[in-house]
Amino acid sequence: MPSPNTTSPKFFQHILLMISYLSLVGVVNAQDNSPYSRYGIGDLVPQTNIITRSMGGITAAYIDNLSVNFNNPAAFASFQSFREKRSKKMASGRAVADFGVNVDRRNLQQPGNSNNFVASNALFSYVQVGVPLRQGWGMGFGIRPVSRISYNIYRNERLYDPISGNNIDSSSTLFQGDGGSYLASLGTGFNIYQRERKGLEEKLSVGFNVGYLFGRKDFSSRRSLINDSVLYAQANYQTLTNYSNLVFTAGFQYRLPITSTLAVTIGAFAQPGASLNARQDRIRETYRYNESSGNLRVDSISDVKDIKGKVELPATYTVGILLQKFAVPNKEGGWILAADYTQTRWDDYRFYGQKDSVKNNWSLRLGGQLSPVPKRSYFSNIAYRFGCVLGPDYIRVGNTLSQLGFTFGLGLPVPISRQAPNQVTFVNMAFELNQRGSNDNLLRENLFRFSLGFSLSDIWFAKRRYD
């Protein structure tokens, strides 16, 4: 009779439920305010899954067949698959679905000023799916945000005639920005060399990703002149840009067993520079505010639509090394120590041919994981993660904008159900504390981020067996 070793329908129900929930979170979020998001493509959001995020963001050499490392596509080669004993063909494989959300709390403070601004929001982080295609060959796809633009800045000042120096009037200006970018990607990774060595697998994997990067930048400046006797029309200067194109990533990973429980992995991935196609609308107008109708245009000074141009993104390179001690049930615990170095050539960034306040930057990421001796107790199966990241921000307004962050996280296994014995689920949590800038910068930003992720996996493509 047929074997029940097939994918549970509940696995796909969980995927659909989580996608619906994360889509809702991506739309409903509180007001954010990050003035630095005015520059470049905006604030760069976390670029890794929540497991590696809790380890400082290390990804280049990280391999895990129960989660999706979407940064280095070479990791797709390590999705779990099972061979038939006689034919050596793939009998079944383990499909993996990764979801994540994060909640940010941002504190902005101007050095020398006791006043500060606090904003919180909940954001969609990623949806990724990985599947094995054959032994040592896998595929991954999904969507995730890349950057976010959100700021509201008021400035009150006195205006003076630049020639005579005479006082004109007081003014109030509201600078607003909104937008961001997203990346939908599809990639594959495969082993080009593998063999058993000291009881572990020695292998060299390569991978490639193609992604569709799309986004928008919506900037406006609204100025009002304040006068007791004259009612001036207000002015609006608004520029809306939409951009998109394909981007590519390539990477490799090489794992070398040292003993029967210890292995070292080196990895690297790179994304070449990309030229994005852009279309821009520019509005210069006067308006009046009406309580019932909102902003009503009085006169259009300039209204130009569909201005074609290019957004040039820089190349980025990451290299890393990871040392892993594998746990032995009821005998020995396991651990991971890893480091990544990333460099991005932001000097090459152009927006419609113009430079911006961005500079080449680098980051160093250090992280690790501790796993107790695996036993029957629940707490002995929890993974404890930690890490840090440092390096200058890519935005450069005045002095160098330094960054320093510390991370901590947990990997919580969900008990296996008798109704779905092949399902393996982990709840992953990450806590981040980041400081951006110092007293030498215009603004100092402290950020606390809590991230929650779900890694679900189940057997799929199982061939039916008959007695």
pLDDT, tens digit (0-9, with 9 covering 90-100), for 428-443: 999 999 999 888 888 8
CA separation for the pair 152, 37 (Å, rounded)? 11
DSSP string, 253-295: EEEEESSSSEEEEEEEEEE--EEEEEEEEEEEEEEEEETTTEE
* The model's pTM: 0.88
Helices (DSSP H) in 38-166: which residue ranges? 50-53
CA separation for the pair 254, 320 (Å, rounded)? 11
Q: Token digits for 356?
A: 């911006």
Name the DSSP letter for residue 354: B
Residue type, 170: S
SS3 track for 216-259: EEEEEEEEEEECCCCCCCEEEEEEEEEEEEEEEEEEEEEEEECC
CA separation for the pair 23, 205 (Å, rounded)? 33
Q: Token digits for 438?
A: 């110092």
User: Domain count of the chain?
Assistant: 1
Domain span holding position 253: 9-460
> Is residue 296, in this structure, part of any structural domain at all?
yes
> Is residue 466, in this structure, part of any structural domain at all?
no
Burial (CB count within 10 angstroms: exposed 0-12, middle 13-18, buried 19+), residue 69: buried
CA separation for the pair 84, 90 (Å, rounded)? 6
* Residue in the structure block whose two tokens are 């020695």: 202
> Is residue 197, in this structure, part of any structural domain at all?
yes
pLDDT, tens digit (0-9, with 9 covering 90-100), for 324-378: 999 998 889 999 999 999 999 999 999 999 999 999 999 999 999 999 988 888 8
Q: Token digits for 175?
A: 């600078």
12: part of which helix (H) or strand (E)?
helix 9-27
> Is residue 183, in this structure, part of any structural domain at all?
yes
Q: Would you say how long the chain is, in residues?
A: 467
Mention every residue, 6+ apart, whose C-beta is less than 8 A from residue 208.
Answer: 73, 187, 188, 189, 248, 249, 250
CA separation for the pair 78, 72 (Å, rounded)? 12
Mention every residue, 6+ apart, whose C-beta is less than 8 A from residue 432.
Answer: 46, 53, 405, 406, 407, 447, 448, 449, 450, 451
> Is residue 465, in this structure, part of any structural domain at all?
no
Name the DSSP letter for residue 33: -
CA separation for the pair 252, 432 (Å, rounded)? 28
User: For the chain (length 467 residues), average pLDDT per consecutive 10?
Assistant: 42 48 45 85 95 97 95 96 68 88 90 82 92 93 95 85 79 91 97 92 97 96 81 87 97 97 97 97 88 79 93 97 93 95 97 95 97 87 96 90 95 85 90 91 90 90 53
Q: How many Cβ atoms from other residues are within 10 Å of residue 439's Cβ?
A: 9
> Is residue 1, in this structure, part of any structural domain at all?
no
CATH code for the domain in which residue 362 is found: 2.40.160.60
Which residue, among 269, 264, 157, 252, has the nearest Cα to 202 in the 3D structure? 264
Q: Token digits for 6?
A: 């097939």
Which residues, listed in sequence order, are joined to residue 356 by a DSSP beta bridge? none
CA separation for the pair 138, 189 (Å, rounded)? 6
> Is residue 4, in this structure, part of any structural domain at all?
no
210: part of which helix (H) or strand (E)?
strand 200-226
Instruction: Give whole-number Cα distances, 10 to 21, 88, 178, 212, 421, in Å.
Output: 16, 29, 38, 30, 12
> Is residue 269, in this structure, part of any structural domain at all?
yes
* Residue in the structure block whose two tokens are 């290019």: 310
311: part of which helix (H) or strand (E)?
strand 294-313
DSSP string, 97-121: EEEEEEEEEEEEE-TT---EEEEEE
